[in-house]
Amino acid sequence: MMKELALHVLDIAENSVRGEAKHIEIVIGEDLKTNRFTMDINDDGKGIPEEMLKTIRNPFTTTRTHRKVGMGIPFLNDTCLMCGGRLDIESEVGVGTRVHADMEHENIDRPPLGDIASTLINLFSSYPDISFAYRHTYRARDWEEAQEFSLTTEELNEILEGMPLTTPSVFIWVRDFIRDSISGLKELEEE
């Protein structure tokens, strides 16, 4: 099993990469007021045929060629069910795939989100030809509105002007920037 939900995000996004996506959107929603934790991974990849979609939660369904099992989706499906939620997968061949994971935020079985910043920088740096968009919303129990952090690889590339995100000092800076921005979400902005 995955120790962190951020590892599931990495794993599901890798499916999008293998599905030849050009744009991948990752959205994390933490709403303590409604007690929901959601993760969305949306792509414009080649999509999943209807037949395969029916059996996708079965570990013996996989596109792998090295071996006959694929645990990514089944793991996440189980985690969602265990945590008072569900996993929805919508897909259309030639259009793309939307994976929506929903859980209770305060469920004792819910793994922590974990190091989402590492997940993102690993994806951003390894796949320079794919444009990624990340959005993270957080609402504490006593807040009226959620706070939001968003970042796209387009914004980063504009600043970097061709310098790859694999450059170690850049990789580390962006990772720490995402980390700090997300922990900043949980503190209320001072007027």
Closer to other proteins at the Cβ: 18 or 95?
18
User: Phi and psi at residue 102, in whole multiples of 5°?
Assistant: -130, 135
Nearer to other proteins, 103 or 174 (CB): 174
To other proteins, the closest distance from the beta carbon of 173 in angstroms equals: 5
- Nearest distance, CB of residue 11 and other proteins, angstroms: 5
Query: Among residues 82 and 92, whose Cβ is nearest to other proteins?
Result: 82
Shortest distance, CB of residue 149 to other proteins, whole angstroms? 7
Q: How far is Cα 44 from Cα 55, in angstroms, rounded to an integer?
A: 21
Side-chain half-sphere CA neighbours of 190 within 13 A: 0
CA 10 to chain centre: 6
Residues forming the site for other proteins (CB under 8 A) = 1-2, 7, 10-11, 14, 18, 64, 66-67, 70-72, 75, 115, 118-119, 122, 125-126, 147, 149, 151, 155-156, 159-161, 163-164, 166-175, 177, 180-181, 184-185, 189
Instruction: Return the number of the residue (104 or 177) whose C-beta is nearest other proteins.
Output: 177
Query: CA angle 59-28-70, nearest 5°?
Result: 10
> 12 and 99 in contact (C-beta within 8 Å)?
yes
| Residue 99 · residue 13 · CB < 8 Å | no
